[in-house]
Amino acid sequence: MANAEMLTMYIKKLSHPLKEIRERSLLLLLAKLKLGWELEDELSGTRELLEGILAWFQTPQQSLQSEALELLLTTIKATSESNDDSDINRYRSLNTTECVRVLLFPWVELCQSDKKTLLLVEDALRLLKSTRRCCRFIRDVFLRDFYAEIFLNRPEIIKSLLTISDGNHGGRPGEALCVLLYITKALRARLLQLSSLDLIHETNKVSEEHRDMIDDDVNLELQEIAGESHLRTPAEEDGLVVLRQLPAPLYALDTLHAVLTIMARSVVLADPVDKTEFLNVRELNTCLCLIESLVELLLDCINDSFWSMDHNAKTYRDISHKSCMVMRLMGDLLNKYRKSFFDDLDRSHHRVAWLRLTFCAEKLLHWARDSALPPTSLVNALQIAQLDPGVELFYPTLSKKIELVLQSTRITVNQEYKSKYKELKKLFSSMDGAAQFMNNKKLHKSKKVLTCIKSCIPILELFQSEHLLADMSDILVKQAKDLDFNDSDWSVARSIALSLMGHNVDWVQITFYKSLAEMVKSVLVGDENEKSLTLLCDVGILTEICCHGLSSKCKETTGLTQILDVLKQDVVLDDEGHYISRNTMQPALEPSLRRSTLQQLAVINVTDGGRLSSISGVCNQLRVYT
């Protein structure tokens, strides 16, 4: 039904014989016209509306006279330029509070029949037998006919729903949690409606040139309804308790605290035998959806600049205190869900719950990043989440947000966390390098392949691919002679070879030693160019073979060091300390890469007896007397 048709229907109901219907139509007309709804035919529609309002005062029992007069004034008031200027000046004069966008929703007046309905719902929620039916009535009927802010104006229903959800009323909490979720979503939608310029009457809109003077997210109408434009004193703020209204931020925080407590109790009280919990999977999903919606509502109502202002009012202090409690609870709950999942990997729903709560935790900590002391439990929980490989792999945007928010908090980051995160980043960089190495075959014919291979080494501990390691080894021990390496390139190649030979994973050592052994045999027995021995004839490589390869606990590695015996038959050490081929008596290495064993010994610290004897062992192993 179009807006104009609805207004026409409301106008006709002004003369309805039932008082309740007349009053509701009057209030709806007043609200819709304030929001900028227009009549389809302004001339005839205005005439019918004026006739209905004038007839209102002819009834024997006159009610809502002030509202009827306000509707009459709204109808007959000319939309002149002077009225626009006065409205603009009125909004411009508001001294808005940037930190609190919305504190109270507009007060909704109810007719007598609506009040009776509300009382019946409150009474029904107190009865155990009618709880489920009443919750469905609120969800499917009540929320469609009434504004959601009624539940904040008169918070008894909210309190009853929280009691039922907590299990103090008996029965399952699922229906009550579902109603709270519907109410929260309706409040967010209502907030968007009240904040939308498209739904505000033309005379209440602010010109574009003055919009920069006001926070775009501040609802001027709500601020005016909530009270004076200046900041309230503590005495004035305490008067909100007398009004018995529930501020929207406190509703979000109280409900968050209750739901987080329920979830924490469900994790702790899980039966280890039959693995049953207080909350089933469906109820757990409802809790998670409710938490996500409540966090969004809280951030819609309170700006992050709230933490940099003076909390001189009681309501502000309550918001600050309850926010810290909620963040502390969320940090503890994140740790419990993570521990529960790793204790029993079959609890995959706990892993999902942990991930969804991590998104909410990041938003809350970002919102409270200017707080003097953010809850340590929440910071630690996000640090643990940052170290989870799944977050970096599948949710890179979340990982980046967590990294930024941890850097912006006022808590000093743990040094152990920094070290672990650095290693994790190195591991992911290694994964990228391995993917590039495997996918880009053209890279294998370039010097840049050394940098790529060097970055691939850390991933070998997780990605145990012999094919990947075989390709890396083939480039180092066979193809390197054809890549025209300079001194710097050979230095990088030797560094990579030493890392593979001294790797803490046995299969990596064995695979690389096999590649070296096959290369030596192909050079000395086959037709391979002796330049392939360039890498192997380095003193550092030979030292690694003699000192660690021969003494390795792995028998396969020890057996493969027989390549030294093969080398002794063909490689000798000349008087100048260069390794040369026995058959050709020509240098086996490029002049720029020759290393003098005597020079290497001179560099070694003489006090390091063990190291010195190791180098001497290399010489003794290689020296062949003719």
The region that residue 143 occupies, defined by phi over 0 for left and psi between -120 and 50 for alpha, beta otherwise, is: alpha
First and final C-alpha spacing in the chain: 108
Burial 47-62 (b: 16+ CB within 10 A, else e): ebbeebbeebeeeeee
Are the C-beta atoms of 174 and 286 separated by less than 8 Å? yes
**For every residue of 141-183, which 3-state class applies, written as one string?**
HHHHHCCCCHHHHCCHHHHHHHHHHCCCCCCCCHHHHHHHHHH
Q: Measuring CA to CA, how many Å separate 211 from each of 26, 91, 447?
A: 32, 10, 59
396-403 CB contacts, 8 Å cutoff, 24+ apart: 398/358, 398/359, 398/362, 401/362, 401/366, 402/358, 402/362
The SS3 of residue 579 is strand
201: CB partners within 8 A, 6+ apart: 33, 34, 35, 36
Q: Measuring CA to CA, how many Å separate 131 from each of 135, 165, 320?
A: 6, 11, 33
Which residues face 571 on adjacent strands?
A: 581
pLDDT at 226: 45
Find the angle CA(491)-CA(494)-CA(500) to the nearest 5 degrees: 145
Find the angle CA(570)-CA(573)-CA(578) to the nearest 5 degrees: 110
pLDDT at 272: 56
pLDDT at 366: 94
Find the angle CA(569)-CA(481)-CA(532) to the nearest 5 degrees: 10
Q: From CA 234, how far away is CA 314, in angstroms rounded?
A: 6
pLDDT at 262: 93
Are the C-beta atoms of 113 and 20 separated by less than 8 Å? yes
pLDDT at 601: 33
Q: From CA 506, how far away is CA 255, in angstroms rounded?
A: 55
Could you please report the per-residue DSSP string of 257-303?
HHHHHHHHHHHHT--TTT---SS-HHHHHHHHHHHHHHHHHHHHHB-
Q: Are strands 571-573 and 579-581 parallel, antiparallel or unpaired?
A: antiparallel
Are the C-beta atoms of 23 and 63 separated by less than 8 Å? yes
pLDDT at 224: 47
pLDDT at 43: 62
The SS3 of residue 12 is helix
pLDDT at 354: 96
pLDDT at 562: 55
Q: From CA 57, how far away is CA 63, in angstroms rounded?
A: 9
The region that residue 227 occupies, defined by phi over 0 for left and psi between -120 and 50 for alpha, beta otherwise, is: left
Look at the chain and count its residues. Answer: 626
Supply the pTM of this predicted model: 0.62
Are the C-beta atoms of 107 and 123 separated by less than 8 Å? no
Q: From CA 145, how far away is CA 148, in angstroms rounded?
A: 9
Strands (E), 99-258: none
Q: From CA 253, how far away is CA 257, in angstroms rounded?
A: 6
Report residues of the chain scoring pLDDT below 50: 78-96, 203-242, 573-626
45-57 pLDDT, tens per residue?
677 788 787 877 7
380-435 pLDDT, tens per residue?
999 999 888 889 888 999 999 998 998 888 776 677 777 777 777 777 777 777 78
pLDDT at 136: 92
